[in-house]
Amino acid sequence: QVQLVESGGGLVQAGGSLRLSCTASGRTFSTYAMGWFRQAPGKEREFVAGINWSGDSKYYADSVKGRFTIFRDNAKNTVYLQMNSLKPEDTAVYFCTADRNYPVTATNDLWGQGTQVTVSE
């Protein structure tokens, strides 16, 4: 069973950047598509970005397209989310997920514990 641990969240001013990391345990990381979701207070969890097993296919929510980049390093069992030009509305807890299927969905059961991202005005 894969276990996921996110890191890299924090407080940043609008216009700034953060890079989130999600490291997986186990030796089967490269067999999973990976995704990032986020959940703001009082809102449902929403999709942010997804990447396939090899990293050559990616897709993004319209709200982050052109600002966020998802990429992975299978040798390090890690998927990243580079977030640039951050906006206050990006404030949320960010979760990574591992999915046997691609595109990733929110219905699978492999999730990290989440990392808080707060963007100030």
What pLDDT does residue 8 have? 98
What pLDDT is stored for residue 92 in this prediction?
98
Q: What separation in angstroms does the CA of 105 have from each of 10, 48, 87? A: 25, 11, 25
Q: What is the reported pLDDT for 56?
A: 96
Find the angle CA(85)-CA(24)-CA(105) to the nearest 5 degrees: 65
pLDDT at 33: 96
Whose CA is closest to 92, among 115, 109, 70? 115
What pLDDT is attached to residue 16? Answer: 98
pLDDT at 1: 76
Amino acid 108: pLDDT: 80
Mean pLDDT by 10 residues, the chain (121 residues): 93 98 91 96 96 97 98 97 98 97 90 97 93
Note the pLDDT of residue 86. Answer: 98
